[in-house]
Structure 1
């Protein structure tokens, strides 16, 4: 007695279509889970934990860019200064055919920053990670909800080490560059 005994052609076709349908759904689910941007909190990770949930004062002027496609909908601006690698990215996006950012304001030294959270975003396609702070910057009557990209990949630590570390550019509230190479957790579900 075989599996197909007593099965009509109609039932066989239904079972085949059902198996194909389940296979397609599982394939789409796996594709989504693979390509989805993943996140991990950096709130307990050095050097981010030292700058979270406390007032920081800028030592240099900063620029505020309006984001056309913000990472988080309630943080619609990006803060950066000329010491940041990400400043070049934001500045180049203002001159694109369809601008992704717009220079909104320049704020002198002495502004107050308060970061509520720090998150590492890992892109599902490239696998690259971008650590970001989220918070507010205030100066006189001005207040902006901002994101601040702090940290970029480096392979400088050990050539034999294929795991990239992160170096930190001079932050607007720091008076010296941190030369430590940090190994941050990658984004996850």
Structure 2
């Protein structure tokens, strides 16, 4: 009777340890996100309807996604975006599909901004989400906007995020901004 009880405790502890290990592994490698609507420069754009100053393209990514939010399945890019050439190459390979081209003057409703942090690499990507339509169909899009200056980040400078010229801006913003790291839950 004592041996059965001891074995039961050992099995319980082993199973609990395995479950705890799987939970910790999952929490470590899952992509984390946090709302950044209230942080500049996003707070001046979220909740507004903007007019695009240049031609933009809506893509559907078939394999890897820049935008992890399934409610916004399309990606919006323009020729000034740092990932423009990468996406053009992905299109040649068949990994992305061009859905629609929007001309300058098209309206885009910016709904929210989220900071995603990859659980494996630890790199973050702030993304604006919104809706654009061509008169016939509405597209829920994600627009990855902003890059961290790694040098400033290593030097522990809080304002290490810089934002390229978005297709609704007249000129590039040369300021650096502070953004929070994405939270586990």
Structure 1 vs Structure 2 CA RMSD: 2.0
Give, in whole Å, the separation in 1 of the partners of 2:166 and 2:151: 20
- Which of 84, 88, 91 pairs up with 2:88? 91
TM-score normalised by L of structure 2: 0.89
Contact 1:66–1:101 (8 Å) recurs in 2:
yes
Relative to structure 1, is the Cα distance of residues 163 and 54 closer, same or farther in structure 2, using a 3 angstrom cutoff? closer
State the Cα deviation string for residues 48-93 of structure 1 (Å, max 9, x = none).
Answer: 1111111100111111111335522221211110101122332232
Deviates more, 1:129-138 or 1:84-93: 84-93
Relative to structure 1, is the Cα distance of residues 129 and 159 closer, same or farther in structure 2, using a 3 angstrom cutoff? closer
Counterpart for residue 18 of structure 1: 12
Give, in whole Å, the separation in 2 of the partners of 1:11 and 1:175: 73
Counterpart for residue 105 of structure 2: 110
The number of equivalent residue pairs is 181
Contact 2:159–2:176 (8 Å) recurs in 1:
no
Give, in whole Å, the separation in 1 of the partners of 2:159 and 2:165: 19
Contact 1:170–1:178 (8 Å) recurs in 2:
yes
Counterpart for residue 147 of structure 1: 142
Q: How does 1:54-73 map to 2 (within 5 A)?
A: 54-68=48-62, 71-73=68-70
Deviates more, 1:60-69 or 1:110-119: 60-69
Q: How does 1:1-189 map to 2 (within 5 A)?
A: 8-68=2-62, 71-96=68-93, 99-157=94-152, 160-161=155-156, 165-188=160-183, 189=185
* Aligned-residue offset at 1:157: 4.2
User: Structure 1 unaligned runs (5+)?
Assistant: 1-6
TM-score normalised by L of structure 1: 0.87
Segments of 4+ moved more than 6 angstroms: none
Give, in whole Å, the separation in 2 of the partners of 1:162 and 1:94: 37
Give, in whole Å, the separation in 1 of the partners of 2:82 and 2:165: 10
